Amino acid sequence: MTLFQVSSILFALFMSYVVRVHQQKARLTAIEASLWYSLWFLFACIAVFPHLLTGISEYFYFDRVFDLLVVGAFMVLTFIVLRSYFMYRLLLEKIEILVRDKAIAETLLQNQIKHKRAFQSKKRVTTTEVNK
């Protein structure tokens, strides 16, 4: 076994541990966690037995298994980056709406309270004058 294969297995084990931590904190459902465990298991298997992918790489006319992995990884990464970008944009929009709405609501409430107090003190003055 090469050094690269050993480090790949260690990396897969570490990532499985990360998945477990997040599962324990209820950030991942059982199905999601299972999918991630499967992915890291698959990663470790491919690292140890790269010839498992020979058939697939030949099917797609890749000369080497490594080329297939690079292309596959690039596709996955592109998808993740794009998805994160849209999520980030959506989150920014949500935060903006939340902050802006809160600012308006708070000012309206403060002014309502001020008006109510002013009205009550005016009413009190009028009542005192009538009593006199």
Partner 1 sequence: MTHIKKNTYTIVIPAYNEDKHIDAFFRRLKASSFEVSPSVLVNDGSVDTTVSVASKYTPYVLNHATNLGKGAALKTGCDFAFTHLKANYVIMMDSDEQHSPNDLLKFIDKIGEGHELILGVRSFNGMPTIPTYLNKFTSFMIQLLYGTYVPDVPSGYKAISRKMYDEIKWQATGYEVEVEIAQKIARKKIKFATVPIETIYPDYVRGMTLLDGVKVLLKLIGIK
Q: Which of 27, 64, 83, 102 binds partner 1 (CB under 8 A)?
A: 102
Q: Which of 89, 94, 122, 123 binds partner 1 (CB under 8 A)?
A: 89
Determine if 113 is a binding residue for partner 1 (CB under 8 A): no
Q: Tell me the residue length of the chain.
A: 132
How many Å apart are CA 107 and CA 116, to the nearest integer?
Answer: 14
Q: Which of 106, 109, 120, 121 binds partner 1 (CB under 8 A)?
A: 106
The gap between the terminal CA atoms of the chain, to the nearest Å, is: 102
Stretch of 30-38, 40-48, 60-68, 103-111 contacting partner 1, by CB under 8 A? 103-111
Determine if 124 is a binding residue for partner 1 (CB under 8 A): no
How many Å apart are CA 35 and CA 15, to the nearest integer?
Answer: 13
Quickly list H helices, 25-64: 30-48, 54-59
- Nearer to partner 1 by Cβ, of 34 and 107: the residue is 107
Determine if 87 is a binding residue for partner 1 (CB under 8 A): no
Instruction: Decide if 44 contacts 12 (C-beta within 8 A).
Output: yes
Determine if 13 is a binding residue for partner 1 (CB under 8 A): no
How many Å apart are CA 121 and CA 132, to the nearest integer?
Answer: 17
* Residue ranges in contact with partner 1 by CB under 8 A: 89, 92, 95-96, 99-100, 102-104, 106-108, 110-111, 114
